[in-house]
Amino acid sequence: MPIKKYINKILEKFFLCTHIPIQAFEHNGSLINTVGFNEKFKKIFNDNKVYNKIKIQTLANKNNSLVTIHCLNNIYFTAYCIHPKSMENILFILGPYSSCKENKMGIVYKPTDSIKYSIFLLRKIIDDNIYDLEKQSIDKNIYSLHVKKAIDYISLNYDEPITLSDISNYLGINKSYFSSIFKKETGKTFTQMLNKIRIEKSKELLLETDLSALDIALSVGFNNQNYYNIVFKKITNETPMEFRHNLRNY
């Protein structure tokens, strides 16, 4: 299924859960789709130049993937930018929502301090759909049997010190041959795939526990915190603590 159809599913699920209108934009500003958006909301969005303001703030602070714009009459929009390669630089914009219970425009009421929970939900829906997208690629025989088995093995043993030799021995094939077909079919080296899975697992621990970055790094299979930080930053454009701070303390 094309990536845009997965984004549409994300928007639909999020709106069903929150009743907050939501839009998704490509990095060049092209609108992918909207859910819960009507002409009235579109006028508020355009008249207040919300997209341009969000882009300016996002560029000014690259370490923060969350931006909120305040319009008139306690009306807000919140943007969340996601960086994983399968949805690189997709911008999700939530709103309009109102911090006032009574408004005559039919805008959903959401206290500003509750939006962080909506972002948690959006992040979870995004992660689930990325996983479904990648799993579907495996299930539809895009990958050969050896590569499928390798990915399954990594997913089950990511917290162990897995090596290329371990995978090759498990599959019963030559190490060089395995490296070649794995890179050809997935577009990633064995190490890149292993790190990607470890980082995704670590995100859950960052959000759901108070474990230190060191403890999380060790629990998902990294043998030191510095390397974990470097890999996390490379994949997400944030450090582990920035990721936790931006979603918990928004």
DSSP 88-155: TTEEEEEEEEESSS--TT-PPB--GGGHHHHHHHHHHHHHHHHHHHHHHHHHTT-S-HHHHHHHHHHH
Cα 35 from Cα 9, distance rounded (Å): 10
pLDDT score, position 28:
81
CATH number of 143-248: 1.10.10.60
Give the residues of the chain that fall short of pLDDT 50: 1, 84-87
What pLDDT is attached to residue 31?
Answer: 92
Q: What is the DSSP letter of 237?
A: S
Residue spans of the domains in the chain: they are: 3-122, 143-248
Q: How far is CA 66 from CA 94, 188, 199, in A?
A: 11, 29, 20
Tens of pLDDT, residue by residue over 45-57, are 999 999 999 888 8
Write down the pLDDT at residue 101.
84
What's residue 240's pLDDT?
93
pLDDT of residue 84: 42
CATH architecture of 3-122: 2-Layer Sandwich (3.30)
Paired sense of beta strands 90-98 and 31-35, if any: unpaired
Q: Which two tokens mark 199?
A: 């980082």
Q: Please say whether the beta carbons of 78 and 68 come within 8 A.
A: yes
**What is the pLDDT, as a whole number, of residue 131?**
56
Look at residue 69 in the predicted model and tell me its pLDDT.
92
How much is the pLDDT for 87? Answer: 44
